[in-house]
Amino acid sequence: MKNMKKPNILFILTDDQRHNTIHALGNEEIITPNMDELVRRGTAFTQAHIPGGTSGAVCMPSRAMIHSGRTLFHLEGEGQNIPNEHTTLGECLKKNGYYCYGIGKWHNGPPAFTRSFHQGDNIFFGGMWDHWNVPTCYYDPTGEYDNEINFVVDFWKENVPVKQHCDKFNPGKHSSEFLTDTTIQFLDHYTDDKPFFMYTAYLAPHDPRTMPDKYKQMYNPDTIKIPNNFQEQHFEFGISTIRDEVLAPYPRTKKEMQKQIAEYYAMITHLDHEIGRIFDALKRNGQWENTIVILAGDNGLAIGNHGLMGKQNHYEHSIRVPLIFAGPGIGQGEVRDQYVYLLDIFPSLCEMLGIPIPSSVEGKSFYKIFSDKHYETRKSLYFVYNDLIRSVKDECYKLIQYRKVANRIQLFDLKNDPMEIDDLSNNEIYKNKIQELRKLMESIKIEWDDEKHLFGKRYWGSH
């Protein structure tokens, strides 16, 4: 693409959408016609991952890694901010001729948002909120975003207002709808000759899982399939009292999980409908054929798998996410199963567009995988959760090692046991494999500077 006009880029990021929630990629229960269209039109990466996180709000470091292209322990803190010396994806595209516009959730500090975009609207600086009353900001060129509005959190029980940093609330309209409206307004009125980078970051399908009744009625909880790895309760490893895990009572019941999964699917189907409206806007404005569309989720979610509810674990349902590229120069109806991280999107997009990769970026470009289905950039992956878990995954096996549980490890054969049901760690046959994976974990922890972080010191100091 070096000698031709660069394509537009639409980057859609969803919140808490796990990898197996797209109909065209194997989930027969979920209704996602627009994501399915994207799968048919593009290339889907079925082994896209996050490296985990150093915060219970896993989405914060996840998004910081996406926008900086840096590995987990080379962020500032837990990703609350992206410092000036770390070039963001938006900054890079701005410097290379793109008009950059941002909408929706930004979990990595107001100054970094302003650096990344020329303009934006309905910007949400936070982790989650009531989908029907989201506080958002207008674009502030100073990067301060210092306006405050009085807000009573629970007016049934208290009368003390708190200061909420925002310019406005959006009462009565679902977050997925008004963020889509804002995106469409931009697309319908954009007339500049520059290609655009449109970043739309949704709050859905993150809880509270509420959506228009039409979508909830599409799913009957009584007929929802319970995953084979369902458990009533996971063994304790330090997360049982965090917010995500207490959204359903202990022990987990199949009936409660059916209800939760039905609501989760309904959120995604509603979100899919809104994404389809954006696709329609691109088509009627003549931009569909010249726009690279990227769809990704910031982290996965358990919802009953292994007796868990959230994303603060290292099972496949929580560390794997959807990732689809579609548009000019990208193969249609293609599927790739090579290992990639979301932090690899930044350098891959640079190579695709023929622009320099900033020196601060540490991700590995997977651009060659689009044309070569056998090309690999990563043969193994490393995962972190705070000071509680470290894991490593090679081409077949995953070793999970817990800190809070004395000598507790798990080993799974992902090729033959993708649902991670049969723990092989006590089988003598796999003793050498465990040692091999521990050596691999040791080498990557050094490469990533794990032990230089407070959580790394705590974790490795206990082993």
361 and 388 in a single domain? The answer is: no
Give the list of residues 6+ apart from residue 307 with CB closer than 8 angstroms, or none: 230, 231, 232, 233, 234, 251, 252
Cis peptide before 208 (omega within 30 of 0): yes
Confidence of residue 1 (pLDDT cuts 50, 70, 90): very low
pTM, two decimal places: 0.97
Choice among 2-11, 57-66, 240-249 with the minimum mean pLDDT: 2-11
374 and 433 in a single domain? The answer is: no
Choice among 149-153, 211-215, 251-255, 375-379 with the minimum mean pLDDT: 149-153
Counting runs of H as helices and runs of E as strands, what totals does the chain give? Answer: 11, 20
Q: Give me the pLDDT at residue 463, please.
A: 66
Give, rounded to a whole angstrom, the gap between the first and last alpha carbons of the chain. Answer: 49
258 and 318 in a single domain? The answer is: yes
- Could you tell me which of 412, 56, 77 has the C-alpha nearest to residue 238? 56
Confidence of residue 404 (pLDDT cuts 50, 70, 90): confident
272 and 179 in a single domain? The answer is: yes
- b/e for 76-86, b at 16 or more Cβ within 10 A? bebbbbbeeeb
Residue 4 has pLDDT above 90, yes or no: no
Residue 3 has pLDDT above 50, yes or no: no
438 and 353 in a single domain? The answer is: no
Higher pLDDT, 153 or 357: 357
Q: Which CATH number fits the domain that encloses residue 319?
A: 3.40.720.10
Q: Would you call 401 helix, strand, or coil by DSSP?
A: strand
Mean pLDDT of 272-283: 98
Mean pLDDT of 361-369: 98
409 and 328 in a single domain? The answer is: no
Domain residue limits at 399: 382-461
**Mean pLDDT rounded to a whole number for the chain:** 96
Mean pLDDT of 115-127: 97
Residue 86 has pLDDT above 70, yes or no: yes
Tell me the pLDDT tens digit for each residue of 406-433: 669 999 999 999 999 999 999 999 999 9
Task: Please indicate, yes or no, if residue 1 is contained in any of the structural domains.
Answer: no
Task: Please indicate, yes or no, if residue 2 is contained in any of the structural domains.
Answer: no
Query: Which of 360, 378, 396 lies at the terminal end of a domain, its last residue?
Result: 378
425 and 285 in a single domain? The answer is: no
Query: Which of 378, 401, 425 lies at the terminal end of a domain, its last residue?
Result: 378
Number of independent structural domains in the chain:
2
Mean pLDDT of 28-34: 98
Residue 178 has pLDDT above 90, yes or no: yes
Residue 145 has pLDDT above 80, yes or no: yes
Tell me the pLDDT tens digit for each residue of 304-319: 999 999 999 999 999 9
Residue 218 has pLDDT above 60, yes or no: yes
Tell me the pLDDT tens digit for each residue of 100-110: 999 999 999 99
Task: Please indicate, yes or no, if residue 286 is contained in any of the structural domains.
Answer: yes
Phi-psi bin for 231: left (phi > 0), alpha (psi -120 to 50), beta?
Answer: beta
Residue 71 has pLDDT above 80, yes or no: yes
CA 253 to chain centre: 27
Query: Which of 344, 378, 412 lies at the terminal end of a domain, its last residue?
Result: 378
